[in-house]
Chain A
């Protein structure tokens, strides 16, 4: 299965506050707009990129409040794939549960994302740029 690491998801209370922290620590080469996700209880997301190409997705809102409360900030890892449906099947065949079907994501220019629960926590799958139909 062709899976390429794309980003880690970090739960936070205030995206702006954490972005300021990250700017002090890393050399950020990009900070995306903060996007409000539709139908997701006020969840907002933003992705920052460090100078070595590492992406960190910051997520705030009701959906991640519990993680923040427990100071469990790292909460998902995202993998890019050329075939999101085959990747889902691969994870499900190996005991993971799909809990969010592939949907276009505003944060990734409408590339599809899906979420699964796996033995290594929450997995986000992101279709690669060249696989958009």
Chain B
């Protein structure tokens, strides 16, 4: 899977979780940019990404995934 394909999948997850069909994310998008991106939605995002791409993040990783880019890079690493 390419980074672009993964990015598109993650963007769909963001749109679904935040219920915004036209939401556009970038690598630098973080919880500072999305009002509803609180700790609970962070878990919801990670959970949805794990399920969609059949990967697992560790508890330690959860706290370091603080923007879209880090989420994607970490997921991509696991898909290799």
Contacts and interface: CB of A to CB of B under 8 A. Distances in A.
* A and B part of one assembly: yes
Nearest to A75: B40
A21 interface: no
Contacts of B36: 66
B39 A63 contact: yes
Interface SS, A side: strand
A93 to B, nearest CB: 10
Interface stretch (A30-38, A47-55, A96-104): A96-104
Interface in B19-57: 36, 38-40, 43-44, 46-47, 50-51, 56-57
Nearest to B46: A97
A117 B38 contact: no
Indicate the member of B38, B51, B59 with the most A CB atoms within 10 Å.
B59
Contacts of A122: 40
A95 interface: yes
The bracket for how many chain A residues form the interface is 10 to 19
Given A66-B38, A95-B51, A97-B50, A117 B43 contact: yes
B62 interface: yes
Given A97-B50, A99-B59, A99-B62, A117 B39 contact: no
Contacts of A63: 39
A97 B50 CA distance: 9
B73 to A, nearest CB: 19
Contact of B59 (A66, A95, A98): A98
Interface of B: 36, 38-40, 43-44, 46-47, 50-51, 56-57, 59, 62
Interface of A: 63, 66, 92, 95, 97-99, 101, 117, 122
